[in-house]
Structure 1
């Protein structure tokens, strides 16, 4: 009886360990052309279909490769699929969309990583603020960037969100893939890196009372000296600014603002935009 109980305990332990291992198993990730993401285990890939199953299920599901843009395998390897007309075979490298699938002469503004170089912390709110600032600058200068039109920011961010891309991993995604996801032939990508410093300034004021002596001359007495100290915060920015057209980098500049104040990075962005090849003075 004791042996039987011991056997049951061991069996239950192995079952628990196996279930835990299964729950922690990394999954493959299928990214469809409509930007839906399927987390699964892929069992077979052919020229026409991909077969997979969901976690905890044995049912095999078949998906036509014409619906697939990319597969990120649990091993870390990625595989993109050619979306050109009449060719649905997988490829080990990246491949560009057919030109007709793009909105030609359209530029998209990517989320702008806003990174503290000392702590390596990235602010999501500031990344969105910086992206919105550059987007509005392009809209304000629409006559200067003609014939380009600016893709609506909500559209850009919605498509990136569906593809699982944000300010944290935007740098790890190729421009070719971003153009395919966003459906544009022009992209502006920027990054703001900064460090913070502090300093102290002191101001001294002297005052005193004057009286008249016996020779009718004013004499300063009871001198009072007051010193005021102020702590100042300094922001040292580096702005990276890149532009791409049809996968090719057409402009790349780095600039450090002259002033070390909190919003000085915005002036650098404006400076670099006006000197980019898409900007024409009117």
Structure 2
């Protein structure tokens, strides 16, 4: 009996020690470019992806290394995934991005995310339209932004396309990387979010039945009515407007248009641009 008790105690101690060791296991840390931290166990790394599993799970998750800023391994070693000045990625980066030749005193206009806040759906056409609108406004006021020159929109979009960047992920890319990719020292970035509501009105016109006398004969007229329905769509915008110079944010404003019309965001862009630090009255 004593032997059985001893064996049982030894087994309980073994299970407790094993469980403590498992619970106290140090984890790897993935620090993403959006500053999200993932505590996990890294299983495999390549030039394209990092595969990891969450604590207590065996399912392996794949993450593109372009989204990773740094990994702090449980061993104490760290690996950084920044883009080097020479245009090549540090070890472990998903792709090599060639840094464009730097053009001092040049401003690039980024694609403008145009997002429905309720559905989180973006519009590629509106993102390009808004980008083109800001670009044309800067060109029209080139004398007011001297000594800055505006980078050609085709050049900007071509360089972004080669780097795999568009309106869907432009917010996730650090400004320092964008300046290297585009070869500019000034950047204009904006974002438009909106919600919609509708209001319907109906107007009815007509007459009831009437009876009139005509040579002692009674004549009854027919009833008739016409109903007209009108539906008005209202847009509620938030326009986010940021300017950067040498990676430093020099201007940041958020504005809601006074009117709730479909194109009211354009008025806010014009207002914010004229009050930005690059704009001078002539």
Give the TM-score band, short-chain normalised: 0.5 to 0.7
CA distance 1:75–1:147, change in 2 (3 Å) = closer
When residues 116 and 107 of structure 1 are mapped into structure 2, their CA distance, relative to the original with a 3 A threshold, is same
Q: Distance in 1 between matches of 2:165 and 2:120?
A: 19
* Partner Cα distance (1:75, 1:173) in 2: 11
Q: Aligned residue for 1:62?
A: none
Is the contact between residue 190 and residue 242 of structure 2 (CA under 8 Å) also seen in structure 1?
Answer: yes
- Cα drift, residue 73 of structure 1: 6.6
Matching residue of 2:247: 247
For 1:255 and 1:128, the matched residues in 2 are separated by 20
Gaps of 5+ in 1: 1-24, 30-38, 41-70, 93-99, 211-221
Indicate the SS of the match to 1:105: strand
CA contact (8 A) 1:28 1:74 kept: no
Query: Structure 1 residue 200: deviation in Å?
Result: 1.3
Residue 79 of structure 1 pairs with residue 81 of structure 2? yes
Q: Find 2:47's aligned residue among 16, 25, 28.
A: 28
Deviation at 1:101, TM superposition (A): 4.8
1:108, 1:267 → 2: CA distance? 21
Q: Report the Cα offset of residue 91 of structure 1.
A: 9.2
Quickly say closer, same or farther: Cα 1:280–1:209, change in 2 above 3 A.
farther
RMSD: 3.6
In 2, Cα distance between equivalents of 1:169 and 1:237: 21
Q: Contact (CA 8 Å) 1:111, 1:127: kept in 2 or not?
A: yes
- Are the counterparts in 1 of residues 69 and 82 from structure 2 also a CA contact under 8 Å? no
Q: What secondary structure, in the 3-state scheme, does the structure 1 residue paired with 2:235 have? A: strand
- State whether residues 110 and 188 of structure 2, in contact with CA within 8 Å, keep that contact through their aligned partners in structure 1: yes
For residues 189-242 of structure 1, give each alpha carbon's deviation from its aligned partner in whole angstroms, at most 9, with x where no partner exists.
0001011110013445577999xxxxxxxxxxx998765331111111111000
Which residue in 1 is equivalent to 2:145?
145
The 3-state SS of whatever aligns with 1:260 is coil
Instruction: Tell me the CA shift for residue 186 of structure 1.
Output: 0.3
8 Å CA contact 1:80, 1:91 repeated in 2? no
Residue 27 of structure 1 contacts residue 73 of structure 1 at CA under 8 Å; is this kept in 2? Answer: no
C-alpha contact 1:110 1:131 (8 A) present in aligned 2: yes
- Pair 1:226–1:122, CA change in 2 (3 A): same
Q: Which residue of 1 aligns with 2:60?
A: none
- Does the Cα contact within 8 Å between 2:82 and 2:89 map onto a contact in 1? no
Distance 1:196 1:226, change over 3 A: same
C-alpha contact 2:83 2:177 (8 A) present in aligned 1? no
Q: Which runs of 5+ in 2 are unaligned?
A: 1-43, 51-63, 71-79, 93-99, 211-221
CA deviation string 1:132-161 (max 9, x = no partner): 111111111111111100000000011111
Cα separation, 2, equivalents of 1:74 and 1:28:
13
Q: Residues 208 and 162 (structure 1 numbering): CA distance in 2 closer, same or farther, change over 3 Å?
A: same
Q: Residues 196 and 236 of structure 2 are in contact (CA less than 8 Å); yes or no, is this contact kept in structure 1? A: yes
**Counterpart-to-counterpart distance in 2, 1:117 and 1:255:** 16
Find the aligned partners of 2:131 and 2:190 in 1 and give their Cα distance: 8
TM-score normalized by the length of structure 2: 0.62
2 CA distance for matches of 1:138 and 1:177? 23
